[in-house]
Amino acid sequence: MTAYRGTNYHGFQIQSNALTVQEVLQKSVSKVLNEKVLITGCSRTDTGVHANQYCFNVHTESNITAKGFVRGVNGHLPDDISILSCEDVPLDFHARFDCKGKEYIYKIHCSESKNPFAPDLMLHYRRKLDFYAIKKAAGYFTGTHDFASFCADCTNVSTTVRTIHSLEIENYGDTVIVLVKGDGFLYNMIRIIVGTLLDVSEGRIIPDDIPEILDAKNRMRAGRTAMAHGLYLNRVFYDEKDLLA
C-alpha cells in the first residue's frame, strides 16, 4: 500500500512523455529488488490527484521481507511518495481486477482567504456553500444508476452503470469534505459530481434536477468538472464486507 501527493506527477499510469507516479515507483522498486519489474496499480489517477491509500502488486524472485521492502523502497522514493505497508499475496492477485470498490474524498477550502499551506491540496472556493441544497442533491446519487452524464469519456468502458454506496458531506470549519464510496467510478466521475454540487449551491442546478440529469445520459446536462487537486483516492477495498460497512 502506498500514498502520494500527485502535484508533481501526470497521474499514476506510466507515460512516454511525462513523469508519473508509476514510473518513480517502478524505478525505486526495481533498485531494491535488483531486477526490472512492472508494477500493477489498482486505479488510474489524473494529473494532480492524490492518494491516501493506493494498492499495487509486483511479481518478484526476491526473498526480501515485507518490512525490508517497505524500508528499502522508501529509502529511494522522493518525499511526496511513501510505501505504507506490504504483504505477500497469492500469485494470481491483481490490484485492479480484485478490487471490490473504492472510496474517494474531495477537499474544499471555503473561505474568502486562500490557505497558503494547501494550495495544491484543496479546492479554494470563495462562495458560501448552501449545505441544505447540496446535501439534498447528494442523496440522489446513492444507489445503482447509469452515470453517463457524469463521465468525461465513456468510450473505453463496457457499461456506465455504477453503484454508489454512500455520498457524505462533512464540514470542519473552513474545510468541506465530500466522501464518496462505490463499486467503481468512471473517468472524472467524482470531479463532475462535485462540480455539479457546486452548481447546485450556486443555484444553477436545483437538487431535484439530479434524477433527470442522470436519466439524460448526457455529459452536457451535468455541471462543471471540479479541479483535480482537491481529489484523493482515500481507501481501496478488497473485502466486500469492508466496502459495505
Cβ count near 205 (within 10 Å): 20
Q: Is 46 a catalytic residue?
A: yes
**pLDDT mean over 115-143:** 96
pLDDT of residue 155 exceeding 90: no
25 or 245: which leads in pLDDT = 25
Q: Dump pLDDT digits (tens) for 168-207.
A: 999 999 999 999 999 999 999 999 999 999 999 999 999 9
List of domains in the chain:
2-83 (3.30.70.580), 101-244 (3.30.70.660)
Element at 29 (helix H, strand E): helix 21-33
pLDDT of residue 154: 87
Q: Which residues contact 165 (CB under 8 A, 6 or more apart)?
A: 101, 142, 181, 182, 183, 243, 244
Q: Which residues contact 103 (CB under 8 A, 6 or more apart)?
A: 179, 180, 181, 233, 234, 235, 236, 237
